[in-house]
Amino acid sequence: MARWALGLLLAIGLILSLWLMGDREAPSLPQPEPPPEAAVHPDYWISGAQIQRYDADGQPLARLNAEELANYPDDQRSELRQVQIHREPVAGLSWDIRADHGMVSGDSDHVHLYGDVRIERHRQTRLTASLFSDSLDYFPEQELLLTDEPVRMEQGPSQTTGRGMRAELDKDRIKILSEVRTRHVPRD
């Protein structure tokens, strides 16, 4: 009988121990520290920003205006809101680019524009073409606009649509890269 009571007591002790240990969480391994986050807040911002770019002779080449500019210290990029870029006239040809948003790379060699991007090409004071896209990249040193997005070009009553565009501002060349469709409306 003593053995039976001792066995029952050990069985109850084992069940109680297992039940109590089941409520405990297994010890966790130490987790690695997450990488430091990129700067979430700008180190400065400018309301009504105006940036002028000059050529080697000190003549104005382009002007960037933004309703707001915020600079981020992690990579020195600047984020823009309500962006306007005006390419000064060369041989009577000028370009105006507008977008809801933009981002200037830290080394300022690339401007990514997005949100209702509109480009206007003017000869003298006459509008000769309007282009529309959701986003594009502007490379000021190369005088180059690029996009892989759908694009629409209007010249008077005629319209051309397609996917992707390459515009060389200094050479007055616009090339729609693929899926090109044109609707030509003759002038009266």
Q: Which domain range does residue 67 map to?
A: 44-183
Does the residue 118 lie in any domain?
yes
The pTM of the whole model exceeds 0.95 = no
Q: What CATH number does the domain containing 173 carry?
A: 2.60.450.10
Q: Give me the tens of pLDDT residue by residue for the chain, a chain 188 residues long.
A: 555 555 555 556 556 555 555 555 544 445 445 445 555 788 888 999 998 988 888 888 889 999 999 999 888 889 999 999 998 877 778 889 999 999 998 888 889 999 999 999 888 777 788 999 999 999 988 889 999 999 999 988 889 999 999 999 888 899 999 999 999 877 76
Distance CA 81, CA 65 (A): 9
Residue 5 tokens read as 């009571």
Residue 98 tokens read as 């507008």
Residue 22 tokens read as 């089941």
Which of left, alpha, beta for 108 (phi over 0: left; psi -120 to 50: alpha)?
left
Does the residue 81 lie in any domain?
yes
Count up the domains in the chain and report the number.
1
